[in-house]
């Protein structure tokens, strides 16, 4: 709301989608560095949300509240989310053996599935889109869809 005008519904959806993408990136970054939640959150809010990359490209402004909630919930409930993810994965592929980007994605999505009112189908669709942004040519989005569907049915069986 930089201009003081209320945001359109489409703009709000774009900002939530961007927050989900940034949350996956931040969780990945935290796993591969010694940075704390606060340090990573500050870096993203100060340097990524709406940042101008060059004259032709800008980073999308993200929903800072959703971003922060996803990070906090993913970290505070990581064990529960990882166990739920393990139950959705084939026994030969526990969460610690999967791609770290997908692991971060499952943690962010798991946080949203278990600690928000967002409908499970929306969460699945949003994170499949995030997977497509990281793996545009691969089979990973279909894998993500299948695992998140299983996780959603466990987290919110009443929605199915």
pTM (two decimals): 0.89
The one-character DSSP state at 159 is G
CA 149 to chain centre: 15
Domain count, the chain: 1
Q: What is the mean pLDDT of the chain?
A: 90
In a domain, 144, yes or no: yes
CA-to-CA distance for 102 and 28, rounded, in angstroms?
A: 9
CA-to-CA distance for 147 and 33, rounded, in angstroms?
A: 26
Residues in the chain predicted with pLDDT less than 70, given as ranges, are 1-5, 51-59, 91-92
Which run of H or of E encompasses 52? Answer: strand 52-54
Q: Determine contact, residues 134/140, Cβ cutoff 8 Å.
A: yes
Contacts of residue 151, defined as CB under 8 A and 6 or more positions apart, other chains included, come to 84, 85, 88, 106, 109, 110, 113
In a domain, 2, yes or no: no
Q: pLDDT at position 2, please?
A: 47
In a domain, 51, yes or no: yes
In a domain, 3, yes or no: no
Which of 160, 127, 156 has the alpha carbon at shortest distance from 144? 127
- Enclosing domain of residue 48: 9-159
In a domain, 1, yes or no: no
Q: pLDDT at position 80, please?
A: 96
Q: What would the pLDDT profile of 35-65 be if each residue is shown by its tens digit?
A: 999 999 999 988 888 766 566 555 678 899 9
Give the CATH number, domain containing residue 105. Answer: 1.10.940.10
In a domain, 82, yes or no: yes
In a domain, 121, yes or no: yes
């Amino acid at each position: 709301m930089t201009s003081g005008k209320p945001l359109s519904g489409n703009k709000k959806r774009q900002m939530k989608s961007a927050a989900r993408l940034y949350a996956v990136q931040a969780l990945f970054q935290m796993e591969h560095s010694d940075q704390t939640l606060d340090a990573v959150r500050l870096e993203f809010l100060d340097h990524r949300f709406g940042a101008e990359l060059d004259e032709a490209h800008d980073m999308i402004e993200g929903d800072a509240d959703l971003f922060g909630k996803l990070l906090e919930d993913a970290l505070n409930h990581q064990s529960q989310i990882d166990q739920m993810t393990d139950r959705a994965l084939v026994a030969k592929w526990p969460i610690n053996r999967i791609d770290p980007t997908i692991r971060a994605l499952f943690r962010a999505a798991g946080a949203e599935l278990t600690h928000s009112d967002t409908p499970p189908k929306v969460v699945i669709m949003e994170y499949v889109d995030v997977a497509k942004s990281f793996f545009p040519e691969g089979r990973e989005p279909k894998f993500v869809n299948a695992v998140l569907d299983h996780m959603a049915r466990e987290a919110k069986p009443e929605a199915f």
